[in-house]
Amino acid sequence: MMVDSRTAPPELARFQAGFPGVKIELGKFREATFRRAAQLMVSPGIGLQEPVIVDALNHGVPVTGDIDQFSKLAKAPIVAVTGSNGKSTVVSLVAEICEAAGVTFGLGGNLDGVRSRPALDLLEGDIPALYILELSSFQLETTAILGAEVAVILNLSEDHMDRYSGLRTYLEAKQRIFIGARKVVVNRDSPYSRPPTQVDAEIIDFGLGEPGPRGFGVLQQDGAEYLVLGRQLLARVDKLKVFGQHNVANVLAAMAIGKALGLAPELMAAAALQFRGLPDRCQWVAEIDGIEFYNDSKGTNVGATVAAVEGLGRKLEGKIVLIAGGVGKGANFQPLVRPITQFVRGVILVGEAAPQINEVLAAHKKISFADSMEDAVAQAKAAANPGDAVLLSPACASFDMFRDFHHRGQVFTETVRVLQ
């Protein structure tokens, strides 16, 4: 049986054609339906705090999810990556490293992209050498024992605080990625990256400082910064095609995962030097009248926007004009103050969270408001000087004004290109 709280969910006709014998119940969830179930397979978009699910659990109905089922059916090792930021970049680079090494893989999970597929769809067809999965906290909530070959929490910052009671419960959901893991990759710079208890697993670490003999990090030599494994020089940081300390950390994380898979450091370094990053993640759009425009629409939480502002701000000779706002998801916007004070000339706010962000930033920077992306881009261009950059990095979700973050980035990009 399929149940959906919407009266007209997308793809309904396709589902009915593909599964004509399956009963469908639409509209408001019914307690009796959930209690009668032999098992609930819950979509990641539905929280386990939903009253009918709580009631079903209290009546002994077991709950599962897509990743829980995937882990039971997969016949190849799983690389599992979660965190608040950088997940898509890291799994995409791991995929490129594997491709360079001739290792077959299935790429998917929570990842949005042309090469990615929903996890359960990866089980169709030939079995690859491994599966590379980006996993959200929502997917991990219903995962009992993942049993990943390699598992990592890249970092943690406030996100989805409209679903979780606080950072602790958000972290607890993420930490389920370590259950049954054979190898664990740890970010030395994040206190949230380690498993909560002692694990019987090999640990490989990475971080932006100088590493130990078996870790990945950054080393200064002859006036340049290098990515290193122990003391082995792998690649010059300034030769990477992605910029910002957060992306240096993402590259190191991907290399640490590659080492856990037994891949050669030299091969990983070569792939990293060719990696151009992903759309909607500090993606250069255009230069107009000496002003550069960058699309970081995937900056859907405060931590992502802090990283984008710092990364771009250190690269520029001028300042940033920031476009931010959207659905705040209960976030604390206070961490934006320091990087915005240092690197930003002015802020253009859009969307539902504009008043809350203004309360935090108004004492520190010039703020203006826009009622559309077109208006925001026009105001940002007018506020910027030659040598500056206009950065869309909203620190918020997109669904108050757009279909998703990709649509938001598309509208920004198209608006900028009209100005050329």
Report residue 259 CA to chain centroid gap. Answer: 22
How far apart are the C-alpha atoms of 12 and 190, rounded to whole Å? 42
The share of the chain scoring above pLDDT 70, in percent, equals: 100
Q: Are 329 and 159 in contact (CB under 8 A)?
A: yes
The residue annotated as part of the active site, out of 23, 58, 75, 87, is 87
Those residues with Cβ within 8 angstroms of residue 142's Cβ, 6 or more apart along the chain or in another chain = 42, 44, 48, 63, 64, 65, 67, 68
Helix (H, G, I), strand (E, B) or coil at 292: strand
Catalytic, 59? Answer no
Q: What is the pLDDT of residue 114?
A: 58
pLDDT confidence band for 317 (50 / 70 / 90): very high
Q: Is the pLDDT of residue 34 over 70?
A: yes
Express each pLDDT in 63-95 by its tens digit.
999 999 999 999 999 999 999 999 999 999 999
State yes or no: pLDDT of 111 exceeds 90: no
pLDDT at 158: 85
In the prediction, which pLDDT does 42 show? 97
Sole residue written with tokens 């198209």: 414
For residue 20, give every residue at least 6 positions away whose Cβ sits within 8 Å of its Cβ, in sequence order, or none: none
How many helices (H) and strands (E) would you count in the chain?
A: 14, 19
CB-based contact 147:180 (threshold 8 Å): yes
pTM above 0.85, yes or no: yes
Region 296-318: what's the mean pLDDT? Answer: 95
- pLDDT for 200: 87
In the set 85, 110, 247, 301, the catalytic residue is 110
Domains and CATH numbers, the chain: 2-60 (no CATH), 67-274 (3.40.1190.10), 283-419 (3.90.190.20)
Cβ neighbours of 59 (radius 10 Å) = 12
Distance CA 54, CA 34 (A): 10
Residue by residue, DSSP assigns 203-217 as EEEE-SS---TT-EE
pLDDT in tens, 136-166: 999 999 999 999 999 999 999 988 989 999 9
* Mean predicted lDDT score pLDDT of the chain: 96
What does the pLDDT read at residue 198?
A: 83
Among the listed residues 378, 372, 379, the one whose alpha carbon sits nearest the alpha carbon of residue 325: 372
Q: Is 110 a catalytic residue?
A: yes
The pLDDT tens digits for 219-262 are 999 999 999 999 999 999 999 999 899 999 999 999 999 999 99
Name the H helices within 275-318: 302-315
- How does pLDDT run across 179-228, given as a tens digit for each residue? 999 999 999 999 999 999 888 899 999 999 999 999 999 999 999 999 99
Identify whether 160 is a catalytic site residue: yes
CA 140 to chain centre: 14
Strand-pair category, 183-187 with 202-206: parallel
How many Cβ atoms are within 10 Å of 380's Cβ, its own excluded?
A: 28
- 346, 367 contact by CB (below 8 A): yes
Pairing verdict, β 63-64 and 40-41: parallel
| Of 85, 155, 160, 246, catalytic | 160
